[in-house]
A and B are shown apart, each in its own frame.
Chain A
Amino acid sequence: MELKGATWKFGNDVDTDAIIPARYLNTSDPRELAAHCMEDADPQFPQKVKAGDIIVAGKNFGCGSSREHAPIAIKEAGVSCVIAKTFARIFYRNAFNIGLPIFESPEAAEAIAEGDQVAVDVEAGIIRNITRNEEYRATQVPPFMQRIIAAGGLINYVSERMKGNGRV
């Protein structure tokens, strides 16, 4: 699968309060959350972002709270994937679990400028910068997590496992 889009750049330590502030957490409706996605980092972001766009950020993206509302807001806003130098660990798990593709690549996070057109080969973990004609590699995803992705997220994975146990 290839994901292709224009990029939006953010800095280091983008926290979950910046991605979706707690004042909107009295709902878990994805559309309502998406309407405020990244609002405290860039108030115009929800209006500017287009389907397929890619977020590129520095280190420790998604630090802070465990709120799954953060990757949900990003996904529902139409963002096709997030590329960062590193991710905070709960955000990392949550993104896989809900099916938001994320890629750890310090090289890509450095080299990509805002607005660059980027294409990502999801299986191979290769990030192509079309604007600059460059290529970067993302860190390999552990095989276990690849199985979660292949099953279509954690819930499907668990559901299949429990069918095997005869509990569903």
Chain B
Amino acid sequence: MGMTITEKILAAHAGKESVQPGELVNVRVDLALGNDITAPVAIREFEKIGVDRVYDRDRVVLVPDHFVPNKDIKSAEQAKSMREFARKHCLTNYFEVGRMGIEHCLLPEQGLVGPGDLVIGADSHTCTYGGLGAFSTGVGSTDLAAAMALGETWLKVPESIKFIYHGEMPEWVTGKDLILYTIGKIGVDGALYMAMEFTGPAVEKMSVDGRLTMANMAVEAGAKNGIAAPDQITRAYVEGRAKRPYTFYSSDPDALYAQIHEFDVSKMEPAVAMPHLPENVKPVSQVAGVTIDQAVIGSCTNGRMDDLREAARVLKGHKVNGNVRLLIIPGTQEIYRQAMREGLFEIFLDSGAAISTPTCGPCLGGHMGILAKGERSIATTNRNFVGRMGHPGSEVYLSSPSVAAASAILGRIGAPWEVK
């Protein structure tokens, strides 16, 4: 019997010939990740274990990104505890403010994750790296603490769901729209405990940035991981970046899937997820008219170069509506520099947008763009739960960067082709 790409990576890291869905395996961890919210708790637990060092100082990665630059005294204390731990254990991969980025934009960019890797992170969007053909999944702080000590973790081999995206992507339709429609179809627990495998001609033509966006939101359907088989596009991305050797895996033709879903992307238009669940998805034309107070372009979902270029294409020569604040948050320092080099900042500033240093900031209602009661934001982020971006009485609509940029100009949710 053939295996899926997810099963192959798990088998390789468990030291086994093959694995089957439902089986519990002990796996070697190529990288263990924490951030300024989850790492302080993991450090506390790690210290209880009683070991004097982490399993590999090159493979424990700590990134302050959620509440930094420190938003208040308590956040400063948390960031400090993480920094001190990184120094004490001489961690190679601690990224200070000014050299950091949103963790899931940063790790692929820095070549710390590659195809065929097995990565766990105390952050639910660790599943992002599936866009490179890695198995990666989110865990809690205690699991991270155990992995930091052992270099191993236990996982249940998930069943896989195959998603096939046929057809040519129309203008303005992106990986974000594909994943939103997918979640809209299967629901926020449609892939609970399972692997989502993204395949088909539309994915094969997609950039790595787009694939990372799709895998990023697998957790929004309850999945353990999202994954796309690596190919020449992946190779071009990882070559010259990868810090370790990588392995290309792909699913066997006779691999077993719990479900198969097919989509024709050629008839899609950009999508919007309505409050308060990522599954409340509608085509943008059905939402047009909803007024907004804020638009956020950034996050681990859509804070990469493709995203900023798409936003700039819409914003060029236009002004942000007088009733709207547009916040643009490049995902990493490198993305920040590249966007500046390409002249995107000029376009953003001319339009009346605010550009922030890389941070999660408003995505999780942390800082840098919190909503007041009754306010409404369109955002390229991944979650629109009650209170996600601020007051429990505020609302978040999820979309691609082009729709967020168009909406900022229009003062209401709208499509990029409405901007004249």
Contacts and interface: CB of A to CB of B under 8 A. Distances in A.
Interface of A: 13, 15, 17-18, 21-23, 25-28, 40-41, 59-60, 63-69, 71, 86, 88-90, 93-94, 97-98, 142, 144, 153-155, 158-159, 161-162, 167-168
Nearest to A99: B142
Contacts of B383: 15, 17, 64
A63 B188 contact: yes
B376 interface: no
Contacts of B145: 154-155, 158
A155 B146 contact: yes
Contact of B385 (A17, A66, A153): A17
B137 to A, nearest CB: 8
Contacts of A154: 142-143, 145-146
Contacts of B392: 21, 40
A40 B188 CA distance: 19
Given A40-B387, A142-B156, 12 more contacts: A17-B383, A25-B66, A66-B121, A66-B124, A68-B140, A71-B140, A88-B192, A93-B143, A94-B139, A98-B140, A162-B49, A168-B49
B91 interface: no
Contact of A68 (B24, B38, B72): B38
Contact of A26 (B71, B123, B150, B193): B71
A93 to B, nearest CB: 6
Contact of B41 (A63, A69, A167): A69
Interface in B11-68: 24, 37-38, 40-41, 44-45, 48-51, 66-67
B154 to A, nearest CB: 7
Contacts of B365: 17, 21-23
12 contacts: A17-B385, A26-B71, A64-B385, A66-B138, A66-B139, A68-B122, A68-B140, A89-B224, A94-B139, A97-B140, A155-B49, A155-B145
A145 to B, nearest CB: 9
Contacts of A159: 48-50
Given A21-B365, A40-B386, A60 B48 contact: no
A88 B156 CA distance: 14
A28 B72 CA distance: 15
Interface residues of B, number: 52
B202 to A, nearest CB: 27
A68 to B, nearest CB: 4
A162 B140 contact: no
Contact of A168 (B51, B219, B277): B51
Interface in B261-288: 277
A13 B277 contact: yes
Contacts of B51: 162, 167-168
Contacts of A66: 38, 121-124, 126, 138-141
Most buried by B among A67, A158, A161: A158
B352 to A, nearest CB: 28
A25 B37 contact: yes
Interface in B119-163: 121-124, 126, 138-143, 145-146, 149-150, 154, 156
A24 to B, nearest CB: 10
B200 interface: no
Nearest to A32: B74
B49 A28 contact: no
A93 B139 contact: yes
Contacts of A26: 67, 71-72, 74-75, 78
B387 A68 contact: no
Contact of A94 (B126, B142, B277): B142
Contacts of A142: 24, 156
A84 to B, nearest CB: 11
B192 A68 contact: no
A89 B195 CA distance: 12
Contacts of B69: none
Given A66-B122, A97-B143, A89 B222 contact: yes
A57 B219 CA distance: 20
B72 A155 contact: no
Interface string B368-393: 00000000000000010111100010
B385 A28 contact: no
B366 interface: yes
Contacts of A144: 24, 154
A97 B37 contact: no
B118 interface: no
A28 B149 contact: no
Contacts of B366: 22-23, 25
A159 B388 CA distance: 36
Nearest to A153: B142
Q: Which 9 A-B pairs have the closest CB atoms?
A: A94-B140, A26-B74, A97-B142, A60-B189, A68-B140, A22-B364, A66-B124, A66-B138, A68-B141
Contact of B50 (A65, A97, A168): A168
Interface in B215-231: 219, 222, 224
B142 A27 contact: no
